[in-house]
Every structure is written in C-alpha cells, then in structure tokens.
A and B are shown apart, each in its own frame.
Chain A
Amino acid sequence: MSTSIQRYTARERSNHWVVAIAFILAALSGLALFHPAFFFLTQLFGGGPWTRILHPFIGAVMALFFIAMAARFWKLNRITPADRQWMARIKDVLCNRDQGLPELGKYNGGQKYLFWIMVLCMLLLLASGIVIWQPWFAPYFPIWLLRVAVVLHALAAWILILGIVVHVYAAIWVRGTIRAMTRGTVSEAWAKHHHRAWYREMTGK
C-alpha cells in the first residue's frame, strides 16, 4: 500500500459531512417546494408542512457549518496566477490530458472558484432565506422584499446545486479523491499528480 498524506483532519471531515448532509436535505426539501415535479420529495420530510418547517432549519444548519468551514479554508482559496493558468487549460483537464499543468497548491482553480461561488450562494441563501422564513421573520419584511428574496433564494440555490453537482462529480471522476473526505488521506501519487505544490509542502520532497 502506498503512503498516504493527511489531507483533512477528522474535524474538517465531520464539518464537511454535516454541510453535505444538510445540503442534500435542504436541496431535496427546497426542490420539493420549487417545482411540482419534485413535490413528492416532501414525503421524505413528513409531508408538505413539515418540509416547509424543516427546510429553513436545515438550511440554517448548513449555512452555519458552511461558514465554519469557509472560515477554515478561505485562505487556501485565494486565487493565484497558477490557478488562472490552470483554468485556461480546463479543457485539457476535462479530457484527462493532465500533462504540463501548472503545479497547484492544496486546491486547483476550479475548486477555488467553486468555493467562492458557494460562499456567495450561501450568503444569499441565508439572507434571503431569513426574509422569507415563515412564520418567524417573513411578517417583518415588506412584500416587495419577499418577492426579491424568493427569486434570489431560488437563483442562489440553483447555482449552488449546479456547483455541488460539479463538486460531487469531480470527486467521483477524479479517482482517489473521495477518501480524502472519508478517511482524510490521499495517496502520495494523487497529491503529487493533482496538487504538486501542496505535495511538496506536505512531504518536503
């Protein structure tokens, strides 16, 4: 068995999975209320009213834990020139032509852009979610703001879902990635291949 490198601590992994589970629940419940085609999903939550009751709490949990996670990771997600270079060659990346890609730190450009998109979406979701949260907060806001908020909420959620689809797919697609969030480690080869600068930093090689 090849040597592993610690990529995420147990605490970080737990945090991620709380966010992930909350996201799945929030997304399912949110979709249930978004399009009639998904309304059947309310059954997962004990019916329509329970879906409506639970969704904002799930969302709040997701946002809270996401903020904790973002606070942990935001420094690592500053965009560097290497990231831009990497992004310019995204086609090659997608076609698995990884030779000659710039050396990357812990995260690649795609991950970083996704990170910031998620931050933005989360903040929008949180803010708009509070505005339309019945019955606790919504009655205190004017109807025009509710209207803006429902649209923003749907839009942000949509972008977030798309981002997460990319995120999840990338994890599946890039072999050896998922264990980073399950066991916390990645193989040296994985690290060297995808995040060479980080690999060097971690191993001193």
Chain B
Amino acid sequence: MQVTRRQFFRICAAGVGGSSLAALGFAPGEALAEVRAFKLARATETRNTCPYCSVGCGLLMYSLGDKAKNAHTEIIHIEGDPDHPVNRGTLCPKGAGLLDFVHSPNRLKRPEYRAPGSKEWTPISWDEAFTRIARLMKDDRDRNFIATNEKGETVNRWVSTGMLAASASSNETGYLTHKIARSLGMLAFDNQARV
C-alpha cells in the first residue's frame, strides 16, 4: 500500500489524537459512589418532649458541638425518641418539623415596645421593660384593687388586669405564674384549657 503524504498526515493525526486523549486522563477510574456522610456522627444528643399536643412524644435533639466552651450549640436535627413508650420514635408532621420551629425566622430575639398610637416596634432593654410593666401594673392595682365588696366582705381581688397563661409552658413556669398571679389577687386569669 502506498501511503501518500496526505494519508500520512491523517494517520499521524489519529495517533496524536489518541495519545493526547490518553494524556487527558480518559477512561477514568470508577467514579466514587458513596452514600452521604451520616450527619449525626458526632452530634450531641439531648432528650426533650414535643411542645405541641399532649401525646407528649419523646424527642431526640441533635446539636452541633460537643458543649466545649468555645462552641456555640446549634440544633441540627430532631427526631423521635425510640425509648419513649408512647411515640416509640415516631412523630407527626408537626413534631417532624420542629427543627424549623426552633429556627423559625419569626422567633423573637429582643424585647420590643410599641408606644400608644405608634405604627412600629422599638427595641427596649429587659430592665426597661420590667420597670415599665411593673409600674403600669402597680398603678392599676393600687387604683383598682378591691379589698372588700359592697357587703363589706373581704374579697382582696384585682380584676382590672388579667393574664392568660401558656399551656405549652412547663409545670415549673405554670406553677410560678399561678403563685405570682394569685399573690397579686388576680382573678382574670385563664389558660388555653378554657378554649
């Protein structure tokens, strides 16, 4: 077979092409196929109870960080507690979404104050808030406290300020709240059990 000049070039081109392909690292090795890394491997586990309904499901909360001094704990995952006799690790759609409750963009981060007639919130310190609220409560109580009724019976009640307590707060909070509310003589006092 006679190889012409042009044919020679053609063969060379193919050879160069082939070797450069090899140089590019063609025929790659088997691409890695691994499962996603297990995200809880070194997370800290804390037990809690679901804050929603009264089934009282046990929760496992996983947070980043090992509680070392310089690590700021961040909850990264919440799932059911398999040891819990009622939920046995299961959760409902609300419980399943608790992570986004903890991290809701609508979580409040600082005390705020709205002045009469104002259209907006202004930040306020805790101390300012407590001082102002206590002042308003005391003024109202001192003015409207009913020590005796029209029959002269001792009644010691304060009904011009009321309170609604949170039935999702703990017993400890509830107990303290009740103790405080009654010591003030409050009667206009309910919790969600009413509705």
Chain A contacts to B: CB under 8 angstroms: 40, 43-44
Residue numbers in A under 8 Å from B27 (CB-CB): 40
Q: How far is the CA of A40 from the CA of B24 in the complex (A)?
A: 10
Query: SS class of chain A's interface: helix, strand, loop or mixed?
Result: helix
B98 to chain A, nearest CB (A): 34
Provide a sorted-by-A list of 5 A–B residue pairs whose CB atoms are within 8 angstroms: A40-B27, A40-B28, A43-B21, A43-B24, A43-B26
B175 to chain A, nearest CB (A): 58
Contact with A along B1-29 (1 / 0, CB 8 A): 00000000000000000000100111110
Seed contacts A40-B28, A44-B21, A44-B24; 8 additional CB < 8 Å A-B pairs: A40-B21, A40-B26, A40-B27, A43-B21, A43-B24, A43-B25, A43-B26, A43-B28
Residue numbers in B under 8 Å from A43 (CB-CB): 21, 24-26, 28
Chain B contacts to A: CB under 8 angstroms: 21, 24-28
Nearest CB in chain A to that of B20: its residue? A44
Q: How far is the CA of A40 from the CA of B27 in the complex (A)?
A: 5
A124 to chain B, nearest CB (A): 30
Q: How far is the CA of A202 from the CA of B24 in the complex (A)?
A: 49
Q: How far is the CA of A40 from the CA of B21 in the complex (A)?
A: 9
Nearest CB in chain B to that of A40: its residue? B26
Residue numbers in A under 8 Å from B21 (CB-CB): 40, 43-44
Q: How far is the CA of A44 from the CA of B23 in the complex (A)?
A: 12
Q: How far is the CA of A204 from the CA of B28 in the complex (A)?
A: 60
Residue numbers in A under 8 Å from B25 (CB-CB): 43
Q: How far is the CA of A40 from the CA of B28 in the complex (A)?
A: 7
Residue numbers in B under 8 Å from A44 (CB-CB): 21, 24
Residue numbers in B under 8 Å from A40 (CB-CB): 21, 26-28
B152 to chain A, nearest CB (A): 82
**Shortest Cβ-Cβ A-B pairs, 3 listed:** A40-B26, A40-B27, A43-B24
Q: How far is the CA of A44 from the CA of B25 in the complex (A)?
A: 11
